[in-house]
């Protein structure tokens, strides 16, 4: 049996296990999509089809992919839910560190996504794709996605939300202020007017001398909306030789800085989806709903490799494949290494039943 056929069988079992209510035709198509993505690491439909073993003409498989991507019955929220539950079960004893960010994709679209931190990687929770090559997404879209994510989490979940300068709108910060179990740290602009001790001034005027930090408490955020009271962290960025400012409800500077440092894991995740992984930025799909369904297959392929990376550390031949004295590869990269090993050696590809809690194994990639 060929590598592609063996991989398809494993992926099909996984899809059948977690999506039993999805129509059989759609389960088969999704399995072919995931197999082609894992084998070929490309998102053009013809290249995905070329990477799988298919008993009929490859162009008929491409047409099958197109029908899947156009099908309004493929609802992302419901079909991703079983995998989302898998992630949240693994993190049930953890404080959830969420990252919200946007990345451009092919076809002049943008993907706004909320992910959760798992070891040194971000795992997707929910996303929305909108038209637009670059620029900020609408605040209404951001709030709708956060409301969706909030509805997916346990009511008592302890959450930390991290965002860059796109996510400092007064409406969004006010929404976060009303979430009793949420902390947040979002970068903001120095030009905004804030009230400190009754005086409205641009945040830039509160910046200390270079190389010094400052933590402002009991601040009202922007003169237009006066959200607060909250805190402002002003931290010196040595690389940029400038102060970076953050709006937060963390109680101390150390707490806010410690959390925000974890935000950059979503950047590595986007790189896995694009230049280091599946090259999602090269897709020519330009309709957001179709691109979102393709992203579903890409995300499931990504999770499959992350799960395999965890299994390689916990139960696989780790010392045979990579250096064992230190971790140099992400879970995503370890999953790719392990999958290639299993295929090359004709070994059984494990059918993943669960995601292990992050505290159950050691893995740190700096």
Report whether pLDDT(365) > 90.
no
* Residue 168 and residue 52 in one domain: no
- Domains identified in the chain, total number: 2
Per-residue pLDDT tens for 16-40?
999 999 999 999 999 999 999 999 9
* Residue 54 and residue 123 in one domain: no
Per-residue pLDDT tens for 117-152?
999 889 999 999 999 877 678 999 999 999 999 999
* Residue 327 and residue 246 in one domain: no
Report whether pLDDT(333) > 60.
yes
Per-residue pLDDT tens for 74-109?
999 999 999 999 999 999 999 999 999 999 987 789
Rounded to an integer, what distance in angstroms lies between the CA atom of residue 351 and that of residue 348? 9
* Residue 220 and residue 310 in one domain: no
Rounded to an integer, what distance in angstroms lies between the CA atom of residue 145 and that of residue 128? 7
Displacement of CA 235 from its chain's centroid (Å): 26
**Residue 52, token pair as written in the block:** 């799988």
Say if 132 falls within a structural domain: yes
* Residue 234 and residue 301 in one domain: no
* Residue 67 and residue 90 in one domain: no
Report whether pLDDT(256) > 90.
yes
Q: Are 93 and 357 in contact (CB under 8 A)?
A: yes
Per DSSP, 57 falls in state -
To the question of pTM greater than 0.75 for the whole model, the response is yes
Report whether pLDDT(157) > 90.
yes
Q: What's 240's domain CATH number?
A: 3.90.350.10
* Residue 101 and residue 170 in one domain: yes
| Structure confidence at residue 181 (pLDDT) | 96
CA distances from 162 to 65, 97, 213, 242 (A): 35, 8, 20, 20
Average pLDDT across the chain, whole number: 93
- The closest of 268, 243, 220, 225 to 139, measured between CA atoms, is 225
Say if 175 falls within a structural domain: yes
Report whether pLDDT(257) > 80.
yes
Say if 275 falls within a structural domain: no
Say if 358 falls within a structural domain: no
Residues 56-84 have a mean pLDDT of: 94
Say if 222 falls within a structural domain: yes
Q: 58 vs 334, which has greater pLDDT?
A: 334
* Residue 139 and residue 226 in one domain: yes
Q: What is the dihedral of CA 189, 97, 262, 192, to 10 degrees?
A: 10
* Residue 66 and residue 90 in one domain: no
Say if 220 falls within a structural domain: yes
Per DSSP, 111 falls in state E
Residues 190-208 have a mean pLDDT of: 93
The phi and psi torsions of 132 (rounded to 5 degrees) equal 140, 125
Say if 130 falls within a structural domain: yes
From 269, 299, 324, the end of a domain falls on: 269
CA distances from 60 to 20, 63, 179, 291 (A): 25, 5, 50, 20
* Residue 91 and residue 65 in one domain: no
Q: Are 241 and 4 in contact (CB under 8 A)?
A: no
* Residue 20 and residue 56 in one domain: yes
Pairing mode of beta strands 227-237, 242-248: antiparallel
Q: What H or E segment, with its residue span, contains residue 196?
A: strand 193-196
Residues 197-226 have a mean pLDDT of: 93
Per DSSP, 348 falls in state P
Per-residue pLDDT tens for 277-323?
899 988 889 999 999 999 999 999 999 999 999 999 999 999 999 98
Confidence of residue 366 (pLDDT cuts 50, 70, 90): low
**Residue 118, token pair as written in the block:** 């798992």
All residues at 6 or more sequence positions from 291 whose CB lies less than 8 Å from its CB, including other chains: 105, 106, 107, 109, 111, 129, 283, 285
Say if 274 falls within a structural domain: no
**Residue 86, token pair as written in the block:** 């898998």
* Residue 190 and residue 98 in one domain: yes
The range of the structural domain enclosing residue 56 comes to 3-74+290-353
């Amino acid at each position: 049996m060929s590598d592609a056929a063996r991989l398809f069988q494993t992926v099909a079992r996984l899809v059948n296990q977690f999506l039993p209510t999805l129509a059989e035709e759609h389960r088969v198509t999704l399995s072919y999509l995931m197999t082609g993505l894992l084998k070929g690491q490309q998102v053009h439909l013809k290249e995905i089809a070329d990477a799988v073993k298919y008993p009929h003409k490859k162009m008929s498989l491409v047409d099958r992919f197109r029908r899947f991507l156009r099908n309004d019955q493929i609802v992302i929220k419901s079909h991703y839910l079983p995998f989302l539950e898998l992630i949240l079960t693994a993190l049930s004893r953890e404080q959830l560190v969420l990252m919200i960010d946007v990345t451009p994709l092919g076809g002049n679209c943008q993907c706004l996504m909320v992910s959760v931190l798992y070891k040194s990687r971000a795992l997707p929770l929910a996303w929305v794709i909108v038209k637009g090559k670059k620029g900020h997404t609408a605040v209404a879209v951001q709030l709708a996605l956060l409301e969706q994510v909030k509805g997916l989490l346990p009511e008592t979940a302890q959450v930390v939300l991290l965002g860059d300068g796109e996510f400092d709108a007064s409406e969004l910060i006010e929404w976060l202020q009303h979430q009793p179990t949420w902390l947040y740290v979002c970068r903001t602009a120095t030009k905004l007017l804030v009230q400190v001790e009754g005086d409205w001034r641009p945040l830039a005027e509160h910046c200390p001398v270079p190389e010094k930090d400052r933590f402002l408490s009991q601040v009202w955020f922007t003169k237009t909306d006066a959200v607060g009271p909250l805190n402002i962290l002003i931290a010196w960025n040595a690389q940029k030789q400038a102060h970076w400012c953050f709006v937060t409800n963390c109680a101390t500077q150390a707490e806010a800085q410690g959390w925000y440092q974890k935000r950059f894991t979503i950047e590595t995740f986007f790189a896995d989806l694009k230049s280091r992984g599946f090259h999602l930025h090269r897709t020519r799909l330009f309709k957001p709903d179709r691109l979102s369904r393709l992203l579903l297959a890409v995300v499931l392929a990504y999770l499959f490799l992350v799960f395999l990376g965890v299994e390689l550390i916990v139960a696989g031949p780790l010392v045979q494949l990579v250096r064992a004295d230190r971790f140099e590869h992400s879970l995503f990269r370890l999953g790719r290494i392990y999958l290639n090993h299993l295929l090359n050696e004709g070994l059984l590809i494990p059918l993943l039943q669960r995601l292990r809690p992050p505290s159950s194994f050691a893995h740190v990639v700096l």
